[in-house]
Structure 1
Amino acid sequence: MSDQAETPPEPDFDLHEAVEVRPARSKNKRPDAMTAVIGVAFDAAISKESHRRLKHGKGLAVILLVPTASWVAPVTKYVHSIFGSRWKLHTRDGSDRRRNASVGSEEVSHDLSRGLCVLGITADLGLLPAALTTAVDITVRIAAPAGAVLRTAITRFAGRDPGEIPDVVAAGLDLHEILSAFRPGTGARKIAQRLAASSAGAGVLDRVPALETAVEYGEARVWGLNLARDIAAYRGGRITWRDVDRGVCMHSAPGMGKSLFPKVLARACEVPLVTTSIGELFASGPGYLDSVIKNMRGAFARAAALASPCSILHIDEIDALPNRETLSERGRDWWTPLITDTLTLLDSTLTARTGIVVVCSTNAIDRVDPALLRPGRLEKVVEIKRPDLAGTMNMLRFHLDGELAAYDLSEVGALLEGSTGAEIMHAVRLARRTARNADRAMTADDLKLAVLPLDHIPRELLFRMAVHEAAHAVVALAVPVGVVKHVVLRARATSGGHTVIDFSDFALATRKMIEDRVVVGLAARAAERLLIGAESTGAGGSADSDLGSATMLIAGLHASFGMGEDLVYLGADQGLLNEIGLNRDLRERVERHLRELDARAADLVAENRAAILAVAEQLALRRYVGGKEVREIMSGVRKGAPGKSRESDEHEPSGY
């Protein structure tokens, strides 16, 4: 495709002039809602010259593209009312699969050869007879109603001007959803308010974070800001559409904001957003294959209709569209047509069309069909990770929405660091409820109480949790490895605490660095054994637990990075765990190595037991100890400072 073809076309008329020069046809009789909206949208889409040719021309081949399939029948009725019956109409809304490009060409050619006018009305150009699309003289594209169009339509319908209406007010709404806001006798401004409320219900006008400051999105934020700049340049004619990123797949653990990100992105790019999911494709119809495919096509058609000049299509749960390589024979027969049709839609949307960006999201990137992720489709894959402190603080301030603006919330932010947006929102909601029940304004202490609701934890368990986390921090300083940021006790999922250590220099780790990090991970288990009497399940149980991480690191040392006895590469990540289960020799080498590092961790715990208990005492009292304070406690214990250690091993720290 040439650069010239991809440059946004310059309209041959001014939109505001077009919708204002054709007032209601009668001052005494107002049009109904359908006529008002479609009439103004039609007038806005067509130049004066094209309108004259349609009125008086002969032997014309005309195509009228509408926003979505629901517009086809109403627009057909409207066109018939203003141009009469001399036109031969071909209307295609996709409901009948037998009426496609291969049907109707003979009739079109016969009518044109007799000097008749032929008009095709559709939301999908590929459905019209091939003879009409090749012989077309005039193409008119009715866009989804923008603010100026809606303002004029409301004025015609209600007889009063509702005032300025933003272009985004009807973004995401189909024709019948727009028309439901038009009710006789309720006033022009009330109609505008209903439209705004409907858009909010469709997720268009939701309050969302500003992408510029949403640092919690990391790489996704950088990609989004670049897209916003590119779309602005495309609008301005400085670049062509081929220079714009058009397909991306976001993935993360649940609750990390993947579903919210497209709204943030659409707001930053100032474009309409169409959102669907694989589940919705089934739920919004009878669930038969043809209806699911039709719903998927409808989502793409809706995004195309709103692309004036750009729009974003978000498809959630894309992993629910299965990987064809893992399908059973029975499942393949059902799913293959849907998967193939989706791939074709992506190809035609991201390569042939202009103005549509497709954003997909998933919690399981490994289950997504590789064909979806190749260049030309969802060519960019971005992981949204747990936020750092800056991202956590930004999300906290967003959910507070101006409350506690005068408070220093850095400690609360540290307590919440790494939390999901949903967890932060829940903490703010709990804090507001506490203040509301006390009939007073919310305070920072309310937030801290919401974040650290551990009073119900039994005394013995709290002791174990504090020792566990204190051992991570103290041994990290004793090794030394990384930078201890803070230690916190809080109940979240299966974890009772969290020690934040910055391992920023770990990108090109040596064998010693890997071993040191594993020692820090194993120290908590050793501390439970030495200081309490027995280990608990808190060190294991999942791939990201202390034992899980240690196993992966040491297995990688031997089987991925060539730092053990052999140079052969055996795998990584989940594949490496599978290899350990099957490869007895590798499993024995990893076990021996872990035992050696566990003994080293136990020695360090024994050497620093007083410091571990002192940090644990403060942790139990306050639930949070900063990295600087951990270093001060450890230094004080080593110098024999009073109050910094406990000489007796027979009693728990006084904070328990």
Structure 2
Amino acid sequence: MSTQSSLDHHSSASVDDVDLEPDDTGGDPASPAPVRHTDLRSMINSAQRHSLRDLLVIPMLKQALGSALVRQLKRGDSTLALVIAVPSPAWVAPLSEALTRLAFQGLMIIGPSERLQRADEAARRAEEAAKALSKGVSVIGIAVTPSQELSKVLLGAADAVVTVPPPDATLANRAIRRFTRKGQAEALSARDLAGLDWPDFVAAFRRGSSRQEIARRLARAAAARSSVSFAENGPPLSALTGYGPALEWAQALVHEIDAMRAGHAPVAVLESALLAGPPGTGKTLLAQALAREAGLPLVTSSVAAWFSASDGHLGAVIREQANFFASLRANRPCVGFLDEIDALPSRLGLGGSRNADFWTPLITGVLLNVDQLRQACPDVIFLAATNHPERVDPALRRPGRLDRVFEIAPPDVAGLTGILRAHLRAELAGADLSSVAQLLLGRVGAAAVQVVHAARRRARLAGRALTLEDLLAEASPPEPRSLAELKACAIHEAGHAVVALALGRTLQGVSLQLAGASGGMTRIEHPGFIPTRSVIEDTVVIGLAGRAADIVLGSGASAGAVGDLAIATRELSALHASFGLGRTLLHRAEAEDASALVRLDGRFAQSIEADLRRLLDRAITIVTKHQSAVLAVAEWLLARRALSGAQVQALLETHSLSAAATYDVPAGAARTDSVDALDSGHEGIILPS
């Protein structure tokens, strides 16, 4: 079985034109001769359909079939079984009519059926195809999704599976020139045809219209297709920062597409991917940048859109789902983007749920549609996005459907600096944005963009140009905590940061920025993928170092370390119950579930408690040894609200181990002590990078 497809149907292609009388002006003097009709409207409609079939549908069919299959169909000297995938349901009828004109007499065309799941319908369709082929009659099955709408007998017997893409710019421009002599030709582009269906062409090609009028109707119709866009104004891939392997994959994919277009590489199935990460990390932006760089239309949808565009009943939602995948086929080659795919629950979690009968057909429909898309349309890049990858059905995450899974984490300082620079464009060209990025560390890229917008508004309301101080003010809004609370938070976070460096970890930064219930944050890089017991215990020591600093240098332990204690308990529970690094090799639970044993097993809880107290004592020892540096870091945090890892490292190296002096606030540093309201508690957070 052979499969014919094209990487880029928007580019110029050689078309085996229909035999029409040539015209020096490029027009079509050989429009179908008028037929006597009593009804003028019937005459016009009949002539219009006939003209469009000759000028548009037959050429696009010939282009997809290729010269060899066209010759076989015209001769009719051999029995053929063909399967043809069309862009949308509306194309089934015109392409079926074109096939009857193109092929030798005696051809049988079998259209799609929505009732193949019924045994009697499946048997009837199978017998229909089998009998025709056994009698020497060529059979062509035509459908949007042949695997779901055509008989398995015909699919298995098919000599070729052909995908007919919608008309490209070359075909459309040629059809317009031959449809009418009036007016100058306007060259339509891929953007002008994106998402157009057969009725759009029928409505645009009106008798008596000029070439410009037809072209403008098509362009307006394409612009009205809200699910299809061209991200021409989006950032290039080279301007994106903080995406890690996902960005490298996207850039390699663009190079692969360029090589295929240039004929330097064979046409292959383009990879798909699941983009996972917290809200605001730029998953949609990456899809837009990929489409822009590859010069492809972006077709977007979401599970929520399927529900909002329907009455919510199962059949209506499934139809909207099918329409999305039909739009991908209709606009190939393209980038398809399905947002918030975790709105479809995993079948693993449905179990005995009474909602399983509703969700299972929807999930299965996505799986089948993705399979069909990947097989029939290798030139479609399918992307999905989620904030919760663990909720996505495993059958959808596997290679062959979503080939890659990329975790897009909140960006580091360099990534945030790049995001700020990209959205500032030419503004503040010489300014050092790292101080702003430090204040935003731990927040997503969308937060950095919002800071730029808010800073511009601040400057605009003041009637002046944007300054670095505007960005700093928006990145660090007025502080609601009292000075005493800020000092407590600063000592707590300084303990985390200094102990992390003392234990050889790479510190990205530390800040006093409020984030929900958290009053500060210390961000360190993960030490590796396969931690040993010493690595895990060091991580716990760093987590307990904030409480140790509270005890040694602050006003004593407080409830602000609740998050640190939760992380430490979870790490130690996994060490003993999951990783086999404790007193036994017994695997009692998965790492994420191991801490539940603390509530269920008293002896296990006592063991974890003993480890926690031992490691807290170790943290207290390290903080005491480096208390001069901890106090210095705390003072600088009070002044600047955020410090980089390099700045903390410099302070640690500067202070002697025995010094316990309190350092003055650096000259020129601005202290923000404004208090609007009191806020209780503080929490040190360690976020592995």
TM-score class, shorter-chain normalisation, is: 0.7 to 0.9
Does the CA contact (< 8 Å) of 1:277 and 1:317 recur in 2? yes
| Map 1:489-528 → 2, pairs under 5 A | 489-503=512-526, 505-528=527-550
Determine whether 1:220 maps to 2:242: no
Taking the TM superposition and a 5 Å limit, the aligned residue runs for 1:59-458 are 65-72=85-92, 92=111, 122-126=143-147, 127=149, 142-152=164-174, 159-161=182-184, 163-174=186-197, 194=220, 197-198=223-224, 202-205=228-231, 207-235=233-261, 244=269, 246-307=271-332, 310-327=333-350, 328=352, 330-351=354-375, 354-458=378-482
Aligned mates of 1:8, 1:144 — CA distance in 2: 12
- Which of 580, 590, 600 is the matching residue for 2:618? 600
The size of the alignment, in residue pairs, is 637
In structure 1, the residue matched to 2:13 is 15
What's the CA shift for 1:56?
11
Task: Provide closer, same or farther for how the CA distance between residues 220 and 232 of structure 1 changes in structure 2, counting only shifts above 3 A.
Answer: same
**Deviates further, 122-131 or 587-596:** 122-131
1:650 matched residue in structure 2: none
From the superposition, tell whether residues 426 and 160 of structure 1 become closer, same or farther in structure 2 (CA, over 3 Å): farther
1-structure distance, mates of 2:552, 2:418: 41
Matches of 2:377 and 2:603 in 1, distance apart?
55
Q: Secondary structure at the match of 1:620?
A: helix
Matching residue's letter, 1:528: D
Is the Cα contact below 8 Å between 1:70 and 1:93 reproduced in 2?
Answer: no
CA distance in 1, matches of 2:390, 2:476: 35
**Cα drift, residue 594 of structure 1:** 1.0
Structure 1 residues 193-230: Cα deviation after superposition (integer angstroms, max 9, x where no partner): 64674467744336433334534222222333343344
Q: Deviations over 1:554-577 (max 9, x none)?
A: 223323333322222334432223
Match of 2:484 in 1: 460
Paired residue for 1:614? 632
Larger mean Cα displacement after TM superposition, 569-578 or 36-45: 36-45
Cα distance, 1:560–1:55 mapped onto 2, change above 3 Å: closer
Deviates more, 1:29-38 or 1:575-584: 29-38
Q: Is the 8 A contact 2:277 2:386 kept in 1?
A: yes
Of residues 433-442 and 415-424 in structure 1, the stretch that sits farther from structure 2 once superposed is 415-424
- Alpha-carbon distance in 2 for matches of 1:579, 1:169: 61
Q: Which moved more, 1:387-396 or 1:636-645?
A: 636-645
| Alpha-carbon distance in structure 2 between the residues aligned to 1:453 and 1:298 | 46
Classify 1:487/1:329 alpha carbon distance in 2 versus 1 (closer, same or farther; 3 Å). closer
CA displacement 1:492-512 (0-9 Å, x = unmatched): 333333223345x44454433
1:646 deviates by 7.0
Tell me what 1:566 maps to: 584
Partners of 1:319 and 1:592 lie apart in 2 by 40
Selected match of 2:569 from 530, 533, 551: 551
Contact 1:36 1:154 in 2 (8 A): no
SS at match of 1:442: coil
Normalised to the residue count of structure 2, the TM-score between the two structures is 0.75
Given residue 419 of structure 2, which amino acid in structure 1 is its aligned partner? M
The answer to whether the 8 A contact 1:6-1:354 is kept is no
1:470 pairs with 2:494: yes
C-alpha distance in 2, partners of 1:91/1:400? Answer: 58
Structure 1 residues 115 and 351, CA, compared in 2 at 3 Å: closer, same or farther?
A: closer
Write the letter of the residue equivalent to 2:414. Answer: A
- Judged with a 3 Å threshold, the aligned counterparts in structure 2 of structure 1 residues 591 and 447 are, in CA distance, closer, same or farther, namely same
Would the aligned equivalents of 2:640 and 2:671 in 1 still touch at CA under 8 Å?
Answer: no
**1:251 partner amino acid:** A
Q: SS at the partner of 1:360?
A: strand
Q: Distance in 2 between matches of 1:595 and 1:235?
A: 64
Tell me if 1:46 matches 2:67.
Answer: no
Shift of 1:40: 3.4
Task: Please state how far the C-alpha of 1:593 moved relative to its aligned partner.
Answer: 0.8
State the shift of 1:349 in Å.
Answer: 3.6
Cα distance change of structure 1 residues 216 and 175 upon mapping to structure 2, 3 Å threshold: farther
User: Contact (CA 8 Å) 1:41, 1:142: kept in 2 or not?
Assistant: no
User: SS of the residue aligned with 2:509?
Assistant: strand
Q: Is the 8 A contact 2:274 2:384 kept in 1?
A: yes
Which digits, 9 at most, give the CA deviation of each residue in 1:571-608, with x for residues without a partner?
A: 44322233343333322212211112223323443444
TM superposition shift of 1:434? 1.0
**Alpha-carbon contact 1:465-1:497 (below 8 Å) kept:** yes
| Counterpart AA for 1:228 | V
Query: CA, structure 1 residues 374+115, in 2 after alignment: closer, same or farther (shift >3 Å)?
Result: closer
Inter-partner Cα distance in structure 1 for 2:289 and 2:545: 42
> Do 2:570 and 2:592's aligned partners in 1 also have CA atoms closer than 8 Å?
no
Q: Please identify, of 338-347 and 148-157, the stretch whose mean Cα deviation from structure 2 is larger.
A: 148-157
Once residues 162 and 112 of structure 1 are traced to their aligned partners in structure 2, the CA distance between those partners, rounded to angstroms, is: 46
Return the alpha-carbon distance in structure 2 between the equivalents of residues 35 and 408 of structure 1: 66
What CA deviation, in whole Å up to 9, does each residue of 1:263-312 have, x standing for no partner?
A: 333334444443333333333223333333333333333323333xx444
Kept after mapping to 1: 8 A contact 2:28/2:180: no
Distance 1:299 1:323 in 2: 20
Structure-2 separation of matches of 1:402 and 1:133: 58
* 1: CA distance, partners of 2:465 / 2:52: 47
Unaligned runs of 5+ in 2: 21-25, 33-43, 674-689
Q: CA deviation at 1:620?
A: 2.0
- Higher RCO structure, 1 or 2 (CA under 8 Å, sep 6+): 2
373-382 or 177-186, which deviates more:
177-186
* Alpha carbons of structure 1 residues 55 and 247: separation in structure 2 relative to 1, 3 Å: closer
More off after superposition, 138-147 vs 370-379: 138-147
Q: Is the 8 A contact 2:436 2:471 kept in 1?
A: yes
Partner Cα separation in structure 1 for residue 256 and residue 660 of structure 2: 62
2:440–2:448 Cα contact (<8 Å) kept: yes
- Do the aligned residues in 2 keep the contact of 1:208 with 1:264 (CA within 8 Å)? yes
Code of the residue aligned with 2:87 in structure 1: it is P
Given that 2:87 and 2:166 are in contact with CA atoms closer than 8 Å, whether structure 1 keeps it comes out as yes
